[in-house]
Amino acid sequence: MKIAIFVQKKIKPNTKQKMKDFLKYMLAAIVGVCIVGVVFTIIGIMSIAGMVASSSGSETKVSDNSVFILNLSGSVEERAQPNPLSQLMGDNFETYGLNDILSSIKKAKENEKIKGICLNAGVFACSPASLEEIRNALKDFKESGKFLVAYGGNYLQSTYYLASVADKVAINPQGSLGWHGIATQIYFLKDLYDKIGVEMQVFRVGTYKSAVEPYIATQMSDANREQTQAFANSIWNQMVADVSASRNIPADSLNALADRNMDLQSTETYIATGLADTLIYQDGMLAYLKQLTETDEDDALNKLYLEDMVNVQRNVPKDKSGNVLAVYYAAGTIGTGGFSTDEGINPEKVTKDLRRLREDESIKAVVFRVNSPGGSAFGSEEIWREITLLKEKKPVIVSMGDYAASGGYYISCAADWIVAQPTTLTGSIGIYGAIPNADKLLNDKLGIHFDGVKTNKLADFGVINRPFNEEEKALMQGMINRGYELFTQRCADGRKMSVDEIKQIAEGRVWTGEMAKDLKLVDELGGIDRAIEVAAERAEIEDYTVMSYPKQEDFFTSLMSSGKERYLSARLKTELGALYEPFRYLQSIKESDRIQARLPFMLTIK
């Protein structure tokens, strides 16, 4: 029997002290980590609280002799939804809502403490109709007698178009000014598809329906070149006419200057030609603004930015009639059924919202603000149906934004009245379908082979590992033809024209708002304010409150629901630039409806 004997050694005093020191330092480290965690938590809570406060609509107090600095930088959307995740990450993507810009300019006109507006030109990505809407608001502002000046180091053509309406256009002595005309480019993917072994099987109705050309051609068709040149000329001529009227420079001279590409000319040339008024550095511009606002040289200039102006209260009397005029925003690509991207139009949600507007007796009229290049033909039909039901109970006026084309026109055509900007892109009344055949890619290049069984002859219709047979092609084309006939009938009924008249101007052709008015696809040229006036006239109301729908998400709802998706989308916009829209389109193909009614491009003036 073995007996285990344990001998306890004495611990030396210095060893005991080392252990005590170790425990003391470990405890101190734990306490320190806890304190740092608490501090960061408090800072985080304070930051979120600050963001909530800034986005909750707390009123901005306006000081005497203030100037509204309107930074023309970033990108413009119909209504910008604040992105909490971007704010928490410290990113600044500068995406502005057109509605915020327009309302802020109105507030600056009405508020006696605001002495004027300074346009600060930067990198500004904005589509033609939105540019025109902002410019018209600035023209209206000038009627108040307040000053409107512009300053920039580098004016893009878009920012110069806006700045040209100012009383004085100032530019940095080492700056540049964009004035070069409009050019368009389309990406063609046919050769890429051929190399990887993918054939896009296309079915369409409309000679000008060019959305499918990037998949099946290497250059623009004659019809697409014709329509693109026509609407580019229309937009450019409108810009030239506007700048000519504001700067008192003949249109021929402006075109001659564009042919020289003024972006690359000296700043002295801008003064000599009348495009700008003065060369001045930023400190000199600050001194000039102090002079205009009667601010002492040693005092700080009272500045208000767009984020401040959003929370400035308008000087309008409160309406007590109980009448509501609803402005409903429908922006982005039209999805199918219950599907849409975070940035697009969800037909299921839109129809529910419109149904609520129809049933709400306090709402006397609806302005349907459409800014869409189209999308799903089925989704467009769903929204069209709800617009027709809404129109039976109250006036419906469409206000077209940058685009109301293809499916965007489909959902607009049933309205009582259509208002568009001269540079709005609309029409594109046509249908197409595109289904890939990846037989060569899968079988020949990747060595992936398929086999299977089926109960009926066409049970495997639409698989991507083989091309359509003749019967399937005929069925698909028949489906596209029926969709086109329905589309043209909807347009004919809405515009009170015959189907033959519609077909003469359809064929998928894109028109500007100015062209569309002559063709009776549009009733009147103007912006959203004019559409609101028409809605009030049709509803026979003088006193009313304008309310916007759908309601935008608050800070926490936005953070919890789709903050991640919006953040990633914003980062992609920043990184991809002009390539973002083509990327989004390719990304959405997998969820797209078989039959599409949409534009093949997005146009931005830079």
- What's the confidence (pLDDT) of residue 573? 55
Q: For residue 167, what are the domain limits?
A: 66-180+261-309
Same domain? For 269 and 161 the reply is yes
Per residue in 270-285, pLDDT tens?
Answer: 999 999 999 999 999 9
Query: pLDDT tens across 18-75, in order?
Result: 566 666 667 766 766 677 666 655 655 555 455 445 545 578 899 999 999 999 988 8
Q: What is the percentage of the chain residues whose pLDDT exceeds 70?
A: 78
pLDDT digits (tens, 9 = 90+) for 380-412: 999 999 999 999 999 999 999 999 999 999 999
**DSSP β-bridge partners for residue 586:** none
The Cα–Cα gap between 375 and 561 comes to 24
Last residue of a domain, one of 246, 279, 309: 309
Among 33-42, 94-103, 448-457, 531-540, the minimum mean pLDDT is found in 33-42
Kindly state whether residue 135 falls inside one of the protein's structural domains: yes
Given a contact cutoff of 8 angstroms between Cβ atoms, the answer to whether 373 and 602 are in contact is yes
CATH number at residue 508: 3.90.226.10
- Do 393 and 497 share a domain, yes or no? yes
Q: What is the pLDDT of residue 605?
A: 61
Q: Could you tell me the CA-to-CA distances from 548 to 101, 404, 498, 502 in Å, in that order?
A: 15, 19, 35, 33
Residue 572 CB contacts under 8 Å (≥ 6 apart), including other chains? 580, 583
Neighbouring CB atoms inside 10 A of 21's CB total 10
Cβ(119)–Cβ(158) under 8 Å? no
Same domain, 516 and 558: yes
Percent of the chain with pLDDT over 90: 68
As a whole number, mean pLDDT of residues 217-227 equals 95
pTM summary value: 0.84
Q: Are residues 416 and 342 in the same domain?
A: yes
| CA distance between the termini of the chain | 96
- Is 417 found in the same domain as 368? yes
Burial class (CB in 10 A: 0-12, 13-18, 19+), 327: buried
d(CA 198, CA 435): 10
Is residue 148 included in any domain, yes or no?
yes
List pLDDT tens digits, range 285-343.
Answer: 999 999 999 999 999 999 999 999 999 987 666 777 889 999 999 999 999 865 444 56
Q: Does 424 lie in the same domain as 277?
A: no
Reply yes or no on whether the pLDDT at 256 is more than 60. yes
Per-residue confidence (pLDDT) for residue 314, from 0 to 100: 76
From 209, 364, 503, 573, the catalytic residue: 209
pLDDT given at position 25: 64
**332 to each of 30, 63, 105, 248, 372, how far by Cα in Å?**
52, 38, 25, 37, 5
Q: In the prediction, which pLDDT does 5 show?
A: 42
Report if residue 251 sits inside a domain.
no
- Identify whether residues 271 and 398 lie together within a single domain: no
One domain for residues 499 and 584: yes
pLDDT in tens, 592-606: 555 666 665 556 666
Contact present, 419 and 522 (Cβ < 8 Å): yes
How many separate helices (H) and strands (E) can be counted in the chain?
23, 19
Predicted local distance difference test score (pLDDT) of residue 2: 44
| b/e 30-63 (16+ beta carbons within 10 angstroms → b) | eeeeeeeeeeeeeeeeeebeebeebbeeeeeebe
Specify the number of domains making up the chain. 2
Q: How far apart are CA 422 and CA 524, in angstroms?
A: 9
Q: Are strands 396-405 and 374-376 parallel, antiparallel or unpaired?
A: unpaired
Residue 173 scores a pLDDT above 60: yes
For residues 477 and 80, which has the higher predicted lDDT (pLDDT)? 477
For 558-580, the pLDDT digits (tens) are 555 544 555 555 555 555 555 55
- Which class for 263: exposed (0-12), middle (13-18), buried (19 or more C-beta within 10 A)? middle
Q: Are 424 and 561 contained in the same domain? A: yes
pLDDT at site 337:
61
Looking at the fold, whether 290 and 337 belong to one and the same domain comes out as no
Q: Which residues contact 263 (CB under 8 A, 6 or more apart)?
A: 176, 177, 178, 179, 180
Residues 350, 281 share a domain: no
- Residue pair 337/379 in contact (Cβ under 8 Å)? The answer is yes
Tell whether 19 is covered by a domain: no
The beta strand positions in 239-387, using DSSP E, are 278-279, 302-304, 324-331, 363-372, 374-376
- Tell whether the model's pLDDT for residue 195 goes beyond 50: yes
Q: Is 176 a catalytic residue?
A: no
Cα–Cα distance for residue pair 524/355, rounded to 1 Å: 27
Q: Which of 234, 406, 558, 569 is catalytic?
A: 406
Are residues 168 and 140 part of one domain?
A: yes
Mark whether 406 is an active-site residue. yes
Above 80 in pLDDT, residue 142?
Answer: yes
pLDDT at res. 582: 54
In-domain check, residue 233: no
For the stretch 331-387, pLDDT in tens is 999 998 654 445 689 999 999 999 999 999 999 999 999 999 999 999 999 999 999
